[in-house]
Structure 1
Amino acid sequence: MIGRWIFVRDAALEGPRSRWGRLALAVIVVLALIVLLPLRLVLGLAAPENVSARSVEGSVWDGRIADLNLGPLPLGTVEAGLEPLPLLIGRAQFSVMREGFSAKAYAGGGVSRANGSLALPDGLGGLPVTAISFTDFSAGFAGGTCTQAEGTMGLTLASLGPLLPDAIMLSGKARCEKGALVVPMRGAQGMEQLTLRLTADGRWQADLTLSGLSQVTADALRAGGFDTRPGGIGIATSGTF
């Protein structure tokens, strides 16, 4: 009788209902692993090499990244999470948000719907840039070429000296040009022009031209590293993100 009961029990465990039970358990385990997947692990696999952070906490869907840096661009501490809907078309897209700034970043290099401003305490190369701003800004690269660029980018430059005591604010529309992301910017008076160029390998160039300056002001800036340009003076700088 005991042997027959064991046989019946084993047969029940091997039946269709038991197989469905094991499948359901496996699905639950997989879903739990997905839900609890650490953001740190996914970020390590998906983020470009020039991304660094002090710490990464939380799940891939709802995490926190402390002191996030994209090359020389400090994003600070942000809330970040993988968005599920873009996964349906094979795109790993993250929402990134902090006070005064938000954006969508996706694996492989690219950003969309960036809005807000970020401080640049170390400047931008040889330019005393104090902040960078975005308005509905999007940019993407594929195969080493700029494939998408739209929206507005702006830069704020600190005073260039006692003869130019006011900060300079420039902005312009982004576009793709000869495989690079290019943003030609102008100041409010049109006397300040800056062109920012970024290639897929992270190299950037910034060229600033100032016109309409007095001879005394122009001479002072030339003594500080500016060169003579047609109609004004200028300075160029470059680096790598």
Structure 2
Amino acid sequence: MPRALTYVLILLAVIAVALFFLPLRLAVGMAGLEDSRFSAKAITGSVWNGRIEGAQLGPFPLGDLDAGVRILPLFTGELLMDLERAPVAGDAGLTATVGKSGNRLLVEDVTTVLSLGSQLAPLPASAIELQAASISFAGGRCQSASGQVRVSLDANIPGLNLKQGLLGNAECQDGVLVLPLQSGSGMERLTLKLQGNGFYTARLFLSGSDRAWTLLLPTLGFRPVPDGYAIKVAGQLAR
């Protein structure tokens, strides 16, 4: 074997070994996660088979995740990382692919349920469920969005049955991520808007004029509007 070819093979072997043991923490930074309100208590293992403990996206806890970088997209200049938390009793688990393609931050095929806690208070929303949701941002602007979203409401309002929550599909409007959701009857509508800097607005509209609402809804933060009542909140997702 020619000496030059031997050197090339040795070099390739060294590169392969280095890549195999490349730490996952480095890939997390390269994927742009640390610039997108993502944090974790610990990141261990290699880029191909790693572990992220105590993962958090802004105010949303993601738990302990298995993580691994996809090999083939690297050849096209994309860094894509698969994340998974196995489902257990009382926990729907999580599957998602996150990463970077050029200047675009990608979140693809997310399926999970996130607890909203008091994030949207006093709007009575308790959880948000994502089904195969995909979103991309570039320069702080929403570039593309798809997938089904359901928001669960924690409110006991006479005349309303909101147990199934409000359902819709993610979309981009003028660089803003928009979730236009509604109930099965279409009489209740929730519009969530999220900008790249984490600033959000949420407006819940209830159509109707139930007598009990006159006294109850203002105490919950709603105000009368044409054809019903509405409540609107605004804020910024915490880091």
> Which amino acid in structure 2 is aligned with residue 101 of structure 1?
L
Give the superposed CA RMSD. 2.4
Q: How many residues are aligned here?
A: 226
Bigger proportion of residues as helix: 1
Superposed displacement of residue 65, structure 1: 0.9
Residue 97 of structure 2 corresponds to 104
Computing the radius of gyration over CA atoms, which structure comes out larger, 1 or 2? 1
Q: CA 1:161/1:214 → structure 2, altered by over 3 Å: closer, same or farther?
A: closer
Instruction: Give the alignment partner of residue 91 of structure 1, picking from 78, 92, 99.
Output: 78
Task: Structure 1: state its 5+ residue gaps.
Answer: 1-14
> Which amino acid in structure 2 is aligned with residue 145 of structure 1?
R
SS of residue matched to 1:96: strand
Q: CA 1:159/1:191 → structure 2, altered by over 3 Å: closer, same or farther?
A: same
Distance 1:109 1:20 in 2: 39
Within a 5 Å distance, the mapping from 1:1-241 to structure 2 comes to: 16-17=2-3, 19-45=4-30, 46-47=32-33, 48-98=35-85, 99=87, 100-107=93-100, 108-160=104-156, 167=163, 169-241=165-237
Q: CA 1:160/1:56 → structure 2, altered by over 3 Å: closer, same or farther?
A: farther
Deviations 1:65-113 (A, max 9, x none): 1121111222111111111111122111111111232111123422111
Task: Structure 2: state its 5+ residue gaps.
Answer: 88-92
Distance 2:198 2:80 in 1: 20
Superposed displacement of residue 166, structure 1: 6.1
> Which amino acid in structure 2 is aligned with residue 105 of structure 1?
V
Considering Cα pairs closer than 8 Å and 6+ residues apart, tell me whether 1 or 2 has the greater RCO: 2
Superposed displacement of residue 198, structure 1: 1.4
Deviations 1:108-153 (A, max 9, x none): 4221112232333344353333221112211112233322111211
> Which amino acid in structure 1 is aligned with residue 193 of structure 2?
R
SS of residue matched to 1:124: coil
* % identical equivalent positions: 35
Residue 12 of structure 1 corresponds to none
Deviations 1:176-210 (A, max 9, x none): 11221111100123222100111222222111111
